[in-house]
């Protein structure tokens, strides 16, 4: 489960920034996670719940912005929404499609006290 | 509790052992800083405020991966990250490759497994310097482990380093190690639909090696269907069909490897 490593990275990024600003706690954490980023949100939440009490994010509200995946066809340039990375172009049926949105994994912002 | 793996220890213990050497190197893969400010309070912030970060979650790993990449480039080392599910034949493929190419190229191997020295022993016997990285509970190699391993292995200039990732078709995909190329290995004893079941690992691969082709007469595996699925995930993917056991198709893999390092 790589989500635990992901959560550890998130906590390190958030705590390091909070400490730089002499914060006592982090009250809100906002993440951008693409729907085809390879991060499973249930696993992420589970991992987060299991470690947050030992971090500055103990009572933080977690907001996850799910970034919808979009793909572009290299043959006909059509852009379309996808839920996976292997969908064919709905217009010309080509498999030469490239994900243009949905791979995001970012710590967007933190709210500190 | 360790935040890397959920163990009770203070951090996941990563063990690194060079085959042929007895001394072991143990690293803490993550620095666990618990610098709580005791009796030292800041009252400067009466109100809460927001900080915009827009930081990639894997930033730290990616920065280290780029350092590895710079190290490899400066020393003219060609690093290949080999990923697959457990049992697809990564180690057998490497054993055969080392036996056939060790007189022509300087080859090194970093072996990633949760436990045991078994794979490093096989690679060492085949004739390449090898370091075993035991990730403990970890399900993938990361840039920090590779950074430590290449220094410990004392890799010479103008060489090829194969990084055999932990057998896992999910987690290794997200972690850049600083490699020049990524190879995904799939064997014909698996289902043809592996590429669409576990697309992330196929998405960023450069080459897909289809292994154990000597077993095709006994299976209903459809090679063309598997390729079709893989191309739907990544239409830039190149395929090489081999049997690391019989040697069939290995020449094509060596030709591809020689073309890559030019």
A64, β-bridge pairs: A31
- Which residues of chain A neighbour B35 with C-beta distances below 8 Å? 19
* Cα–Cα distance for residue pair B4/A21, rounded to 1 Å: 25
Q: Is it true that domain A3-68+102-112 has CATH number 3.40.50.620?
A: no
Tell me the residue ranges of DSSP E strands in chain B.
Answer: 13-18, 24-28, 49-56, 78-84, 107-113, 130-134, 160-164, 181-187, 207-211, 238-241
As for the ipTM of the complex, it is 0.91
d(CA A55, CA A14): 10
> Chain B residues with CB inside 8 Å of A17's CB?
51, 53
Task: Test B45 with A85 for CB contact under 8 angstroms.
Answer: no
Q: Is A54 helix (H, G, I), strand (E, B) or coil?
A: helix
- Residue closest to B173 by CA, chosen among A69, A2, A47: A2
Provide the pLDDT for residue B208: 98
CB contact under 8 A, A106 and B6: no
Range A60-85 average pLDDT:
96
C-alpha to C-alpha distance for B142 and B147, rounded to whole angstroms: 9
Confidence at residue B27, expressed as pLDDT on a 0 to 100 scale: 63
* pLDDT band at B233; cut points 50, 70, 90: very high
Q: Which one, of B229, B222, B189, lies nearest residue B208 by Cα?
A: B229
* Mean pLDDT, rounded, of chain B: 89
Q: What is the pTM of this model?
A: 0.88
Chain A positions touching B195 (Cβ under 8 A) are: 86
Enumerate the domain spans of chain A.
Answer: 3-68+102-112
What was the pLDDT predicted at A91? 97
Residue of A nearest to B46 (CA): A113
- Residue A1: CB atoms within 10 Å: 17
pLDDT at A32 over 90: yes
Query: How confident is the model over B145-161, as pLDDT tens digits?
Result: 999 999 999 999 999 99
Query: Angle between the A41-51 and A3-20 helix axes, to the nearest 10 degrees?
Result: 50
Query: Residue B77 carries which DSSP code?
Result: -
Percent residues over pLDDT 90 in chain B: 80
Interface mutation vs chain B, best among A38, A53, A69, most B CBs within 10 Å: A38
């Amino acid at each position: 489960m790589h989500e635990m490593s992901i959560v550890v990275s998130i906590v390190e990024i958030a705590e390091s920034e909070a400490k730089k600003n002499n914060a006592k706690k982090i009250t809100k954490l906002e993440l951008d996670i693409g729907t085809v980023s390879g991060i499973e949100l249930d696993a992420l939440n589970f991992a987060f719940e299991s470690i947050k009490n030992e971090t500055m994010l103990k009572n933080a509200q977690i907001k996850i912005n799910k970034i919808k995946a979009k793909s572009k066809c290299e043959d006909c340039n059509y852009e379309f929404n996808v839920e996976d990375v292997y969908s064919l172009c709905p217009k010309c049926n080509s498999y030469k499609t490239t994900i243009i949105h949905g791979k995001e994994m970012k710590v967007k912002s933190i709210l500190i006290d | 509790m360790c935040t890397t793996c959920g163990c009770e220890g203070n951090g996941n213990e990563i063990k690194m052992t060079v085959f042929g050497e007895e001394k072991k190197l143990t690293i803490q893969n993550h620095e666990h800083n618990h610098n709580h400010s005791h009796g030292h309070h800041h009252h400067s912030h009466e109100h809460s405020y927001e900080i915009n970060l827009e930081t990639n979650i894997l930033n730290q790993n990616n920065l280290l991966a780029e350092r590895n990449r710079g190290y490899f480039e400066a020393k003219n080392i060609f690093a290949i990250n080999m990923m697959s599910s457990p049992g697809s034949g990564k180690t057998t493929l490497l054993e055969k490759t080392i036996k056939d190419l060790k007189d022509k190229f300087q080859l090194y191997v970093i072996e990633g497994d949760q436990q045991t020295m078994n794979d490093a022993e096989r690679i060492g016997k085949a004739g390449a310097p090898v370091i075993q990285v035991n990730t403990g509970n970890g399900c993938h190699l990361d840039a920090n482990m590779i950074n430590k391993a290449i220094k410990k292995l004392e890799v010479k200039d103008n060489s090829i380093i194969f990084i055999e990732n932990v057998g896992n078709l999910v987690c290794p995909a997200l972690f850049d190690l600083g490699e020049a190329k990524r190879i995904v290995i799939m064997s014909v004893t698996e289902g043809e639909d592996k590429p669409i079941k576990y697309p992330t690992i196929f998405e960023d691969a450069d080459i897909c090696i289809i292994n154990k082709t000597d077993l095709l007469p006994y299976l209903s595996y459809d090679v063309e269907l598997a390729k079709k699925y893989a191309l739907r995930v990544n239409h830039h993917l190149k395929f090489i069909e081999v049997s690391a056991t019989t040697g069939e198709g290995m020449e094509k893999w060596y030709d591809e490897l020689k073309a890559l390092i030019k």
